[in-house]
């Protein structure tokens, strides 16, 4: 973690670490940094369901696959997804039957 959060008191971006605390040089506020749990992203599918690792989803629109002449069809079931911080807005890592491992956008799937 090399990016410190801004000061919660005055929103100054010039915070620095002092031992276990973060310190704001502008208003002298000191606080304990959050554990990072608050930064956990919530990934939602096309209709707003919250997705989790291990979920099974279906694809809600035809998807072109790079390097393949066929596309993933609507309704294709994808088992055991994994949420990732992928390339672009791809946030699901999975293996699609007949296509192999790939990353999908959560906006094109629906939880089963």
* Closest distance of CB 67 from Zn ion, Å: 51
Asked whether the beta carbons of 60 and 52 are under 8 A apart, the reply is no
Nearer to Zn ion, 26 or 62 (CB): 26
Q: For Zn ion, which is the closer residue by CB, 28 or 112?
A: 28
Q: What's the closest the beta carbon of residue 29 comes to Zn ion, in angstroms? A: 5
Q: Would you say 24 or 83 has its CB closer to Zn ion?
A: 24
Task: Output 12 or 103, the one with its CB closest to Zn ion.
Answer: 12
Q: Whole-angstrom Cα distance, residue 6 to residue 62?
A: 42
Closest separation between CB of residue 8 and Zn ion, Å?
8
Least CB distance to Zn ion at residue 30 (A): 10
Residue 93, CB half-sphere, CA atoms under 13 Å: how many? 7
CA 20 – CA 26 distance, rounded (Å): 19
**Where does this chain bind Zn ion (CB under 5 A)?**
7, 9-10, 12, 24, 26-27, 29
Per-residue exposure over 87-98, b if at least 16 CB sit within 10 Å of its own CB, e if not: eeeebbbbebee
Helix, strand, or coil (residue 38): helix
């Amino acid at each position: 973690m090399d990016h410190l959060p801004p000061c919660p008191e005055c929103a100054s971006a010039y915070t620095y670490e002092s031992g276990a605390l973060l310190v704001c040089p502008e208003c002298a506020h000191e606080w304990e940094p959050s554990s990072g749990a608050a930064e956990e992203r919530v990934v939602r599918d096309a209709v707003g369901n919250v997705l989790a690792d291990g979920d099974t989803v279906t694809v809600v629109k035809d998807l072109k696959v790079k390097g393949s002449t066929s596309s993933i069809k609507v309704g294709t079931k994808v088992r055991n997804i994994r949420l990732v911080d992928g390339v672009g807005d791809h946030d699901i890592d999975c293996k699609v039957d007949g296509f192999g491992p790939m990353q999908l956008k959560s906006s094109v799937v629906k939880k089963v």
